Amino acid sequence: MRHLLSYLITRLLMAIPMVFILLSLVFVVLRVMPGDPVSSMLGGHAPEEVIERKKAELGLNKPIAIQYVEYLGKLLRLDLGDSMIFTERVSAPILDKLPATLELTVCGLLVSLGLGVPLGAFAARRRRSGRDYGIRLYANAVYCIPVYWMGLMLQLVFGVWLGWVPISGRTGPRMSSSAFSRTGFYLIDTLLTGDIQAFGDVFLHLLLPAFTLGVTLSGIFVRLTRANMLDVLKSDYILAARARGLPERRVVYDHGLRNALIPVVTMLGLQFSLLLAGAILTETTFSWPGMGRLLLERIYLRDYPTIQGIIVVYALFVSLVSLLVDLLYAAIDPRVRL
Amino acid sequence: MKRENDVRSSAAFSPASAAASLVRRFADAARKYRAEWWILLAGALIIVLIGTMTVFPGLFTRFDPMDQEAGGQMEAPSRTHPMGTDNLSRDVWARMVYGSQTILGVAIAAALLSALIGIPLGLLSGFAGGAFDKVLSLVMDSVYSFPGLILAIAFASMLGPGVVNITLSVSVVYIPTYFRLVRGQTLSIKEEVYVEAARALGARRAAILARYVLPNIVATIVVVFSMNVADAIMTEAALSYIGLGLPAGIPDWGMDLSMGKKFLPSGIWWMITFPGLMIMLLALGFTMLGEGLAEILNPRLLEK
């Protein structure tokens, strides 16, 4: 247990440089590039002194180094600062939108795993058969389908032509917002309030976006699972299991798949970052009110503190997930902790 | 496995012998990996086809991609307009043909730029070691683990629209890919006996890198480059889809898609179907080429 704790602490400390480096990159580039929030707020025709006064108010006339140190100081106190465009804390819109993105991402991941792992395992079992090549073609093809295009086509077929599901937003127009105020995860909120009708509505809205995100990423899980299964199926304990006369199905799926999944788990961290990127595009396509749309919206307004805040949250998130994955791995495999 | 050892131990490379061994490997592979060979050929065929479109667009369509009087507004596909017309009465097929120039140009230029920065840095870092290597690796790993598209969005929005700017934004994302690959391989090749022999004979660092390390990783780089172009295609299209890509005067598949999105509720299917199909096809071409090459040049690569 103590080993695990010291491992945890080292791993936590390792996450800090990543957040720091990304933040510095964004901070400097944001300020070096042309365009600033004051002009985007006041328009191009504001008199010079008004612009200067506003800049001084926001601290934008100080040297970049000073602005940077001040910002880092605040960040250490877990303070993301105030928006430069709206009178709000940076954390306010982020906390508001984060659950939407998480709900979409987690559901997408579930779809992705649910499709990718069984297909990959099956393909490995039937290596070099027609079905193996078929599944590999599927993996490559869906990997090359742009997420947003998949979203648009699904919208066209199931939303516009068949009219089965709504094509944008998280809820229908007549849903009361009181049902969604507890956690921000609408699926959970509606269940907590026991509002089955609202739950159905939320579920229908989530269906296409989650499916879109999940299917496009399932190709990666097919490839990962297949490759690991091929390695595992060559190992001695599989031979031993076969020698004991276990049915092939049990050998492959019980003994093989369980071990092949460990490396897949360790890759989850990187897949998660792909998932977040995919979520931005899915959000744009489905008018899903999440972090990605918030980021794009604030980029157009040049709201520096909010953009930085969003990047910090994304970076923290990626680090957190990779930390969790590592811990999970350390828990499964004691050799990691050495 | 044995053949690979032969290649490595014939340490002093000449371009001719390297080319000859590549050709030999391809010929062997063609016999041994039938399916992979077909994957490679299919990928190459797609690339050649779209490449021809890029170079000789006039052969494929007589319409101008910007001509707002090519036909009626949002006409469904017909004999004259095989992919229909868009909301500004422009011919969609012509926009696909000319749009290939943009996406292919940006993706290849971005991948080349990433390679040109990432490969030397990886060689240096892996070879030099020490604090330089530690710091650089940390930076590269940070960028690598962050969602690439979000990084590209941040850069593209800061640089503003334009062909050069979008190329830069896309290339930033993939520098770590080359860096990590090349650094890792350099670290292991550095320990090989023939490198030590060269060092003992007094070869300079630059000479060792250029003559012994680089030739050994060329095959891997070729594979990764091909896959990388596919990724760059997707990133370029994504950036222009969310409106961060190019000024309006340039035909671009991603931009056409985002325009078609507005007319989707009225069931105008041809404005979204074809641009997306083209993006997918082009990306698929490079992925298949890469996958075929990977299995043929180094069967272990994809399974790891």
Q: DSSP for A107-130, please give it.
A: HHHHHHHHHHHHHHHHHHHTTTSH
For the cut 60, the answer to whether the pLDDT of residue A287 exceeds it is: yes
CB contact under 8 A, B241 and A148: yes
Closest CA–CA distance from residue B10 to any residue of chain A (Å): 30
Average pLDDT over residues A204-224: 91
Chain B CB contacts of A296 below 8 Å? 153, 242
CB contact under 8 A, B238 and A274: no
Question: Would you state the pLDDT for residue A68?
Answer: 83
Please, are residues B274 and B83 in contact by the beta-carbon 8 Å criterion?
A: yes
CB contact under 8 A, A133 and B302: no
Separation between Cα atoms, residue A322 and residue A19, nearest integer Å: 13
Residue B183 or residue A196, greater confidence:
B183
State percent of chain A over pLDDT 70: 90
Question: Would you state the pLDDT for residue A271?
Answer: 83
For the cut 50, the answer to whether the pLDDT of residue A56 exceeds it is: yes
Residue A303 or residue A59, greater confidence:
A303
Closest CA–CA distance from residue B127 to any residue of chain A (Å): 24
Lowest mean pLDDT among A12-21, A85-94, A317-326: A12-21
Question: Would you state the pLDDT for residue A2?
Answer: 63
Q: Which of A17, A146, A153 sits opposite B142 (nearest CB)?
A: A17
**A338 touches B: beta carbon within 8 Å:** no
Which residues, other chains included, contact A158 with Cβ-Cβ below 8 Å and sequence gap of 6+?
A164, A165, A208
Q: Which DSSP symbol is given to B8?
A: H
**A235 touches B: beta carbon within 8 Å:** no
Question: Would you state the pLDDT for residue A178?
Answer: 62
Helix, strand and coil in chain B, % to nearest 5: 75, 0, 25
CB contact under 8 A, A18 and B257: no
Closest CA–CA distance from residue A275 to any residue of chain B (Å): 8
**A281 touches B: beta carbon within 8 Å:** yes
Closest CA–CA distance from residue A158 to any residue of chain B (Å): 11
Residue B6, CB half-sphere, CA atoms under 13 Å: how many? 9
- Closest residue on chain A to B281 (Cα): A144
For the cut 80, the answer to whether the pLDDT of residue A221 exceeds it is: yes
> Which residue, A330, A240, A294, is CA-closest to A85?
A294
Query: CA dist A72 to A23, A67, A83, Å?
Result: 9, 9, 16
For the cut 70, the answer to whether the pLDDT of residue A212 exceeds it is: yes
**A69 touches B: beta carbon within 8 Å:** no
Separation between Cα atoms, residue A225 and residue A230, nearest integer Å: 9
From first to last of its 304 residues, chain B has per-residue pLDDT tens of 334 444 444 445 566 777 777 777 767 766 666 777 888 899 999 999 999 999 999 888 888 888 887 788 888 888 888 888 888 888 889 999 999 999 999 999 999 999 999 999 999 998 888 899 988 998 898 888 888 898 898 888 878 888 999 999 999 999 999 999 999 988 888 888 888 888 888 888 888 888 888 888 888 899 899 999 999 999 999 999 988 878 878 889 999 998 999 898 888 899 999 999 999 999 999 998 998 888 777 655 444 3
Burial group, residue A264, by CB count within 10 angstroms (0-12, 13-18, 19+) = buried
3-state secondary structure at position A163: coil
Q: What is the DSSP string of A8-73?
A: HHHHHHHHHHHHHHHHHHHHHHHHHSS--HHHHHH-TTS-HHHHHHHHHHHTTTS-HHHHHHHHHH
**A213 touches B: beta carbon within 8 Å:** no
Question: Would you state the pLDDT for residue A179?
Answer: 61
For the cut 80, the answer to whether the pLDDT of residue A139 exceeds it is: yes
Residue B259 or residue A57, greater confidence:
B259
CB contact under 8 A, A153 and B272: yes
Please, are residues B218 and B18 in contact by the beta-carbon 8 Å criterion?
A: yes
Query: For chain A, how far is it from start to end, CA to CA, in angstroms?
Result: 13
Q: Calculate ∠ Cα B45-B48-B50, nearest 5°.
A: 105
pLDDT tens digit string along A70-126?
888 888 887 888 887 888 888 889 988 999 999 999 999 999 999 999 999 999 888
For the cut 90, the answer to whether the pLDDT of residue A331 exceeds it is: no
Is the ipTM of this structure higher than 0.90? no
- Closest residue on chain A to B235 (Cα): A146
> Which residue, B106, B82, B146, B137, is CA-closest to B274?
B82
Closest CA–CA distance from residue A29 to any residue of chain B (Å): 7
pTM reported for the whole predicted model: 0.84
Separation between Cα atoms, residue B18 and residue B22, nearest integer Å: 6
Average pLDDT over residues A283-307: 88
Please, are residues A329 and A209 in contact by the beta-carbon 8 Å criterion?
A: no
Residue A48 or residue B280, greater confidence:
B280
Question: Would you state the pLDDT for residue A156?
Answer: 92
Q: Which of B148, B158, B269 sits opposite A29 (nearest CB)?
A: B158
Residue keyed to tokens 């496995």: B1
Q: Which of B261, B272, B303 sits opposite A227 (nearest CB)?
A: B303
- Closest residue on chain A to B155 (Cα): A29
